[in-house]
Amino acid sequence: MPPSIECTPVTGSCPAQTFHARDLTITRSMALKPFTDPRTMTGSTTDHMLKVTWSNSTGWGVPEIVPYAPLALDPTATVLHYANECFEGMKAYRNKRTGKIQVFRPDLNAKRLNMSADRIALPSFDNDEFVALLCAFVAVEERWLAWSGNSTILEYDENDFLYLRPMMIGTTPRLGLAKPNDAMFLIIATKFSSWHTRPLRLLASSPEESVRAWPGGFGFAKVGANYGPTLQYQTRAVSLGYDQVLWLFDVEKRYVTEAGGANFFVVWRTEDGGVELVTAPLETGTVLDGVTRRSVIELVRERLPEVSVTERQFTVGEIVAAVDSRRIIEAFACGTAYFIAPVAEIGISGRDVTIPLKVEGKSGEYARTIRRWLEEIMYGEIDHAWGVAVN
Amino acid sequence: MPPSIECTPVTGSCPAQTFHARDLTITRSMALKPFTDPRTMTGSTTDHMLKVTWSNSTGWGVPEIVPYAPLALDPTATVLHYANECFEGMKAYRNKRTGKIQVFRPDLNAKRLNMSADRIALPSFDNDEFVALLCAFVAVEERWLAWSGNSTILEYDENDFLYLRPMMIGTTPRLGLAKPNDAMFLIIATKFSSWHTRPLRLLASSPEESVRAWPGGFGFAKVGANYGPTLQYQTRAVSLGYDQVLWLFDVEKRYVTEAGGANFFVVWRTEDGGVELVTAPLETGTVLDGVTRRSVIELVRERLPEVSVTERQFTVGEIVAAVDSRRIIEAFACGTAYFIAPVAEIGISGRDVTIPLKVEGKSGEYARTIRRWLEEIMYGEIDHAWGVAVN
């Protein structure tokens, strides 16, 4: 990480290149929010938020955990005009054996948020300090994953989790379009109860009409600019009875990229009889380097050597061909929010193509297996380096 | 404009499909900001802001002009995560003959903001009501274009203007990605003194590295998502001594699209000896339908019949060929912020190509003429339908 502006270390006037967890101050809320049944608490934010401000001249300030509250932003703040915003999606879980709270591969989110921030000219920070602040914040919000005995919830579900949203926004009050001189890093959290959605119905997009991302663009970065512009097409897909858009790229080739805001995998039998797990590659810059995506690839490569795991450009035509020749095995979307979400059907050029769901009509077998592997790690049923205790 | 949700007109429970200027309330600031020399007031906001909120269930609320103040936004507000934001750039001028304040073609900005809002799933409104609210707001801020005698400014420049920023943001406090259920429409203003920048040095982008917009994307809409992601490349261009990026599209063809956040025109002598004014077409969906762009095209078609005005895809290679064969006449960027900005040089694949500036080394002759035509209309030196008095 190069310094963002010239500085003179000798005089001590260097802007701070990162925030430091050792500087963290905590002001606890005097009015904790009442719990309600987490299964109905879709999106209730927790009691606190973590906040650090940055300016181009002084660098990162002191991180503070304060009671959750609205942000006061000048109407000219760059984030409201020029989409200087990036974020991460993560989850915190109660380890089912130790009772400690843990997060999943936070180092990968730290790296990706730095990469996203760079793509939209927001400042960088140290990855380890990010992880340390995240853990400190989750520890403060521990009561939201109440352990039996301490809980004021009538029915505590051991599969509850906190959805964590680290985010960075440009806050300079200036309409002139330029790299922001001021920014804010925040971590907020919402409480959810684990849910199993019904298998997804996807609508393959028409690349003539709408394209999510482009080489040389920013589809690989978790920036706000990738999301708002998808809602027009997404709204249309929902009105047609689908859950999410399967985003295609290239009017002629019709490459499969992402499903909604999630990565997308297909399992099929290849022409030569092998089993292939395929997903779009990162090199085109049009799909997100998902933490769940990467974990799926690594686990399957490690534990299912008979499956060939391939990151390559593949087309919606290949899916249709695999369905028609009965080589299709299953398909699923994956991401932090959707976890491992089996796909039941894909609308392709007016035809609804059925994807097998061999496990009780709810999931494919690979999706079910991979989901269990990940749950075991996330909820600490087994010891694994990817599960990182917060305290 | 179709209703955004089902409603029953009979019961009177329809959400309001537009805001209405007749409902406007005005709360004047009791602490007006001190004037300083407008030539140094780059970006000082005025005393008030216009605000209307929208919700999916009740539609548009009552517009109000209130003292300028920070917005209180929940940290989960969709605009901070998913770039649900669009805006317009406009200017208000003091008519040099009548002393009245006027705006320039506000109907076009109204239409475009509606189009932009639709592209990112924000609500629509009535164009005429937009213009009426805009005029009411500018009238309240009249003192910022103080007429001689009323001014507390030592030196009032008759070329001062107010930069107006109508904007819309999604405000629903919800991390789940979906069409916002709540939005806010605002108009704010900043005071500027007319400035003449030095002729621009542009750096032609490398489409292998960075692409501003693509077919099926949203380059045609004035949405935040088009701006933040350009800053990384723009910052690099400035560090190399250029003012703005000349955005190219297509790795092989290298079509010229926009210059920074402005439209781009070239004037050259064609192979057959005619004079052509050329700019990128709107059909590809990758350039903004600029109000200044459209005005330039219409004025030149009307007043300079000997010039062939062409909206078509053209390449940076054509520019190099025109320079090398001395057919190049001039080039300029245009937009509300940059007005008509002559181009002096374009960095193309490591070579700085020089563009003629026949008028005192500061502008081409067409750019100078077009600029004067527009100034005459904007500052009311002549009567013209494009100049709309605000009261």
Contact predicate B356/B330, CB 8 Å: yes
Task: Look up tokens 């097409």; give the residue.
Answer: A233
DSSP letters along B177-239, please?
Answer: -S--SEEEEEEEEEEE----PPPEEEEE--TTT--S--TTSSTTS-BGGGTGGGHHHHHHHHH
- Sort out which chain A residues have CB atoms less than 8 A from B118's CB and list them: 232
For residues A229 and A250, what is the distance between their CA atoms, to the nearest angstrom? 18
| Beta carbons of B81 and A165 less than 8 Å apart | yes
Confidence of residue A340 (pLDDT cuts 50, 70, 90): very high
CA distance B23 to chain A (A): 23
pLDDT number for residue B155: 43
Angle at B78 between CA A201 and CA A258, to 5 degrees: 35
β-pairing, B182-192 with B44-45?
A: antiparallel
State the first-to-last Cα distance of chain B, in angstroms, to the nearest integer. 28
Chain A residue with minimal CA distance to B83? A224
User: How many Cβ contacts (< 8 angstroms) between chains A and B?
Assistant: 200
Note whether B5 contacts A: Cβ–Cβ < 8 A. no
CA atoms lying within 13 Å on the CB side of residue A65: 25
Q: H/E element holding B130?
A: helix B127-140
| Beta carbons of A80 and B224 less than 8 Å apart | yes
Sign of CA dihedral A358, A364, A370, A374: negative
Which residues of A, range 185-244, sit inside 8 Å of B by Cβ? 186, 188, 190, 207-211, 214-218, 223-232, 234-235
Q: Tell me the CA distances in angstroms from B121 to A66, A232, B107, B170, one per residue in order.
A: 33, 5, 21, 9
Q: Which of A280, A285, A292 is nearest to A108 (CA)?
A: A292
Note whether A115 contacts B: Cβ–Cβ < 8 A. no
pLDDT number for residue B325: 96
Copy the structure tokens of residue B212.
Answer: 């501003």
What is the average per-residue pLDDT within A270-282?
Answer: 96
pLDDT number for residue B152: 47
- Between A176 and B117, the more confident residue is B117
Residue A334 has pLDDT above 60, yes or no: yes
Residue A337 has pLDDT above 90, yes or no: no
Spell A117-152 as b/e; 16+ CB within 10 A means b.
bebbbbbbbbbebbbbbbbbbbbbbbebbbeeeeee
| Beta carbons of B75 and A71 less than 8 Å apart | yes
- Tell me which residue in B45, B175, B231 faces A76 most closely, judged by beta carbons: B45
pLDDT number for residue A191: 85
Identity at B390, one-letter amino acid code: V
| Beta carbons of A210 and B216 less than 8 Å apart | yes
Note whether A286 contacts B: Cβ–Cβ < 8 A. no
Ranges under pLDDT 70 in chain B: 1-12, 36-43, 147-158, 194-196
pLDDT number for residue A42: 59
Copy the structure tokens of residue B89.
Answer: 């750039």
- Sort out which chain B residues have CB atoms less than 8 A from A218's CB and list them: 229
CA distance A351 to chain B (A): 22
Note whether A35 contacts B: Cβ–Cβ < 8 A. no
Compute how many other C-beta atoms are within 10 angstroms of the C-beta atom of residue A215: 18
Note whether A260 contacts B: Cβ–Cβ < 8 A. yes
| Beta carbons of B74 and A70 less than 8 Å apart | yes
- Sort out which chain A residues have CB atoms less than 8 A from B85's CB and list them: 80-81, 83, 228
Under 8 Å CB-to-CB from A19, ≥6 apart: which residues?
A: A52, A60, A61, A62, A63, A125, A126, A129, A133, A185
Q: Tell me the CA distances in angstroms from B168 to A81, B139, B163, B325, one per residue in order.
A: 9, 21, 17, 47
Identity at B33, one-letter amino acid code: K
Residue A151 has pLDDT above 60, yes or no: no
Confidence of residue A154 (pLDDT cuts 50, 70, 90): very low
| Beta carbons of A228 and B120 less than 8 Å apart | yes
What is the average per-residue pLDDT within A122-129?
Answer: 98
Contact predicate B320/B348, CB 8 Å: yes
- Sort out which chain A residues have CB atoms less than 8 A from B261's CB and list them: 177
| Beta carbons of A118 and B232 less than 8 Å apart | yes
CA distance B161 to chain A (A): 15
Which residues of A, range 45-104, sit inside 8 Å of B by Cβ? 45, 49, 68, 70-76, 78-85, 87
Contact predicate B71/A73, CB 8 Å: yes
- pTM above the 0.90 mark? yes
- Tell me which residue in B72, B120, B228 faces A231 most closely, judged by beta carbons: B120
CA distance B261 to chain A (A): 9
Contact predicate B375/B118, CB 8 Å: no
DSSP SS3 for A246 = strand
Under 8 Å CB-to-CB from B283, ≥6 apart: which residues?
A: none
Confidence of residue A12 (pLDDT cuts 50, 70, 90): low
- Sort out which chain B residues have CB atoms less than 8 A from A190's CB and list them: 76, 175
Compute how many other C-beta atoms are within 10 angstroms of the C-beta atom of residue A354: 11
pLDDT number for residue A146: 75
Residue A40 has pLDDT above 90, yes or no: no
pLDDT number for residue B43: 63
Copy the structure tokens of residue A95.
Answer: 């380890």
For residues B119 and B130, what is the distance between their CA atoms, to the nearest angstrom? 18
| Beta carbons of A217 and B209 less than 8 Å apart | no
Q: Which of A377, A358, A354 is nearest to A368 (CA)?
A: A358
pLDDT number for residue B153: 44
pLDDT number for residue A266: 98
Q: Which of B208, B225, B214, B180 is nearest to B83 (CA)?
A: B225
Copy the structure tokens of residue A391.
Answer: 């305290």
For residues A274 and A276, what is the distance between their CA atoms, to the nearest angstrom? 6
Compute how many other C-beta atoms are within 10 angstroms of the C-beta atom of residue B136: 18
In a mutagenesis test of the B interface, which of A88, A177, A212 is the best target, namely the one with the most B β-carbons within 10 Å? A177
Contact predicate A348/A207, CB 8 Å: no
For residues A167 and A185, what is the distance between their CA atoms, to the nearest angstrom? 6
DSSP SS3 for A90 = strand
| Beta carbons of A81 and B174 less than 8 Å apart | no
Kindly calculate the radius of gyration of chain A based on its CA atoms and give it in whole angstroms.
22
DSSP SS3 for B46 = coil
Residue A155 has pLDDT above 50, yes or no: no
Helix, strand, coil shares of chain A, percent, nearest 5, are: 25, 30, 45
In a mutagenesis test of the B interface, which of A45, A81, A86 is the best target, namely the one with the most B β-carbons within 10 Å? A81
For residues A189 and B298, what is the distance between their CA atoms, to the nearest angstrom? 53
